[in-house]
Amino acid sequence: MIAIAIDDEPIALEIIKSHASKVPFVELQETFTDAFAAISYLQQHKIDLLFLDIKMPDISGIDFLKSLSNPPMVIFTTAYTEHAVQSFELDAVDYLLKPFSLFRFLKACNKAQELFNLRNQKLETKTEYIFVKDGYEQIKVELSEIIYVEASGNYTQIQLKDKLLSSRITINDLAELLPKSEFIRCHRAFIVPKSKITKFDRSQIWVGEKIIPIGATYGGIQLT
């Protein structure tokens, strides 16, 4: 993992450097006593992990993290306990209280490595398309092209951006092919991609101008 550290105390950065040099899967590329200089670096480099002090003179570590549009994983390093709850609300990997031992530092890095591996695994296994049967052919369907899916008699109709595809696949079988993190089965006859929902209430979903019912046993729509 590529890492940087931000702390207004040079001695604290030297300790992080020393500890990081003993962790084989952490490459500490840069350290900063100036948080604003670090912002420029983060904009120009891909960083996986950030060691971040909280009490700094110009900007707090909490506010610094909030200012980042696409922050890396963060491990807070601080001498104060009062920000622990807030740090975890910001999805911090860990919260190291100074002075922290090499063992405690390694434990935090291991947590970051586990999260890093999990994120990469999800990216590698992300489904972008499926194949569905159309007559004697298997048709490739890009998931991003699906507007909604509707069971219709012996067929399942897949409404795409530019055409309507009818397949003999059952809607139950199709539901098994579609990633549940991206699609909602809102009715026994309908499946909707979360990204295409424009609004919803207790009884129906809008996908653009299309109104789709929510079945009695499919309530509790969750978009996250």
Predicted pLDDT of residue 49 = 97
Answer for the pair 53, 8: CB distance below 8 angstroms, yes or no: yes
Predicted pLDDT of residue 126 = 66
- What are the pLDDT digits (tens) for 142-194? 999 999 999 998 899 999 999 999 998 999 989 988 988 889 999 999 999 99
- Distance, CA of 7 to CA of 18 (rounded, Å): 15
Q: Specify the range with the lowest mean pLDDT, choosing from 11-25, 77-91, 154-168.
A: 77-91
Phi-psi region at 153: left, alpha or beta (left = phi > 0; alpha = psi -120 to 50) = left
- What are the pLDDT digits (tens) for 53-64? 999 998 999 999
Number of Cα atoms under 13 Å in the Cβ half of residue 199: 2
Burial 76-86 (b: 16+ CB within 10 A, else e): bbbeeeebeee
Residue 205 has a CB neighbour count (10 Å cut-off) of 22
Predicted pLDDT of residue 221 = 62
- What are the pLDDT digits (tens) for 93-106? 999 999 999 999 99
Q: Chain-wide mean pLDDT for the chain? A: 90
Instruction: Using pLDDT thresholds of 50, 70 and 90, give the confidence band for residue 133.
Output: confident
Instruction: Using pLDDT thresholds of 50, 70 and 90, give the confidence band for residue 122.
Output: low
CA separation (Å) from 2 to 10, 71, 148, 158? 20, 13, 40, 43
Predicted pLDDT of residue 123 = 55
pTM: 0.56
Whether the predicted pLDDT of 13 surpasses 60: yes
- Distance, CA of 163 to CA of 160 (rounded, Å): 5
Domains recognised in the chain with CATH numbers: 2-124 (3.40.50.2300), 129-218 (2.40.50.1020)
